[in-house]
Amino acid sequence: MDNKGYAMSALSFLLIIPAVLLVTVFVDMSHIGGESEGLVLKSDAVFCTAMDIENQIPVMGKEVLRETADGIVESGDAIIDSRKTVKNVLQAKMCQMSELYQNKMGLEVNCRILSLDSSSDPFYVEIKSTVYVRKDNIVHNETISQNISIERLKDPLPFIKCKNYGGVNMTDTRILYGSSLVAYLNAKNVSNAFVYENASSPLFIKKCPYDPYISHGTLLTLKNCIDNGYFHESNDGACFLCRLEGKAVCPHYGLETFVIPSPTLNSSLISAPCSSDHVIFNDSSYPGMEIQYNLEAGNYYKLFLDNGHRSKYGLPYY
């Protein structure tokens, strides 16, 4: 220190300036490095949580659809506005899950189900949702569309339609109508409804592998399709969500399966309500002419189809 009260000389001051600048730069750089490391960690946590939520939507969605279908099978009561009902239940489940993430990881999580509707493939239901995850200033916001398979879910339609006509029973794989389907058809004044005494239809929705459908023109293929209880794509048949509402037909691209009359000893050719489920369960059914697809121990196994369905499945016109 000089004797004029200066702490340092001008020269020392000049030397210190760049040193101070350099130190400042180093401090700033290390701060930025630490900050970006923190950002990466936060970003990973946000992204992984968003992925987890996204992966859970189809799993939860299928669970909700299964529970809804099983509930209808149990009670026989259709639900009103299935799209809204299922969406709300799924929304509630996703909210619970979001809350879990929020509490455990300190993230702001919001999964909003935008819509739940039929997909272009009737064996799928489409869910649109927005997943929002935020941690401080890191935000992941994504709108996604996912398809859920409805295969292996129970077909709720017969349980709704036959509830007031004696109900139906089920085995491991099939729905057994007993006399309820005849009573249902008689109530609609349909002729030759008796052929559906002890009829049956598949319990679970399974996609028919015999595609294109005209290959059903080989009667053994048709028989195998019936034996396995496969479902087919249909412009007229109701989609799965409309089936939950008890509708046999709907404007969406839907499904159909065959309701199989019990075998008879009578070989005479007759006309009866068309065996496609959307025709039988529609308010106005139309007749089909019988097709004998199997003969076993003197029993004739028949199906009744109109020319429209015969054309679809490659079967001869009557």
Partner 1 sequence: MRRKEFVDDEIALAFSTDAMLAIVIITVILGISADAMDIASYRLQDYSSRFSLERITTDAADILIKTPGSPEDWDQCYFCSYMTPGLAKINPTTGTTIPNTISFEKVTMLKNRYSELVCGRIIPSGANSSMIIYPINSTLNPIIIRDDVMKSDVSEIAVSNRTVLCDFMFTTVVIAMNTHGNPSNPTENGSQGEVCPHINFTGNLKHQQPDINGGGKPGWVCHHFKITQENLNSTDFYVITDPSPLKDSSARWIIDRTENITDDKQRFSSTPVIVNDKLSQVLGADNQAILWFHVFTSGNPQKLYDAYIVGVPKGSLIEQVRLEYLNPQPCFFVLKVCF
Binding site for partner 1 (CB under 8 A): 9-11, 14-15, 18, 22, 55, 58-59, 62, 124, 147-149, 152, 172-173, 204, 209-210, 215, 218, 220-221, 223-224, 227-228, 294, 296
Query: Cα dist. 77→58, 66, 187, 244 in Å?
Result: 25, 15, 19, 9
Please check whether residue 123 is in contact with residue 113, taking contact to mean a CB–CB distance below 8 angstroms. no
Q: How far is the CB of 262 from partner 1 (least distance, A)?
A: 15
How near is the Cβ of 229 to partner 1 at its closest, in Å? Answer: 9
Name the residue nearer to partner 1 (CB basis): 15 or 80: 15
Neighbouring C-alpha atoms within 13 Å toward the C-beta of 303: 27
| Total Cβ atoms within 10 A of residue 151 | 13
The residue among 202 and 273 lying less far from partner 1, judged by its C-beta, is 202
Q: Which is nearer to partner 1, 130 or 228 (CB)?
A: 228
Overall residue count recorded for the chain in this entry: 318
CB of 190 to partner 1, least distance (A): 30
Count the Cβ atoms, other than its own, within 10 Å of residue 241: 26
Q: Which is nearer to partner 1, 156 or 246 (CB)?
A: 156
Q: Which residues contact 11 (CB under 8 A, 6 or more apart)?
A: none
- Residues 236 and 239: their CA atoms lie apart, in Å, by 9
Which C-beta is closer to partner 1: that of 11 or that of 104? 11
Closest contact distance (angstroms) between CB of 95 and partner 1 is: 21
CB of 218 to partner 1, least distance (A): 5
Only one residue has tokens 């070989």, namely: 267
Question: For the stretch 204-236, what's the b/e string if a residue is b when 16 or more beta carbons lie within 10 angstroms of its beta carbon?
Answer: bbbbbebeebeebeeeebbbbbbeebbbbbbeb
Between 112 and 223, whose beta carbon lies closer to partner 1?
Answer: 223
Q: CB 19 → partner 1: shortest distance, Å?
A: 9
Burial class (CB in 10 A: 0-12, 13-18, 19+), 13: exposed
**Shortest Å, Cβ 128 to partner 1:** 16
- What is the pairing mode between strands 124-135 and 108-118? antiparallel
* Residue number, 154 or 163, with CB nearest to partner 1: 154
Considering the complex, state which of residue 203 and residue 248 has its C-beta at the smaller distance from partner 1.
203
Encoded tokens for 106: 């300190």
Displacement of CA 232 from its chain's centroid (Å)? 16
Which one, of 127, 154, 130, lies nearest residue 58 by Cα? 127
Residue 45 C-beta: closest distance to partner 1, Å: 18
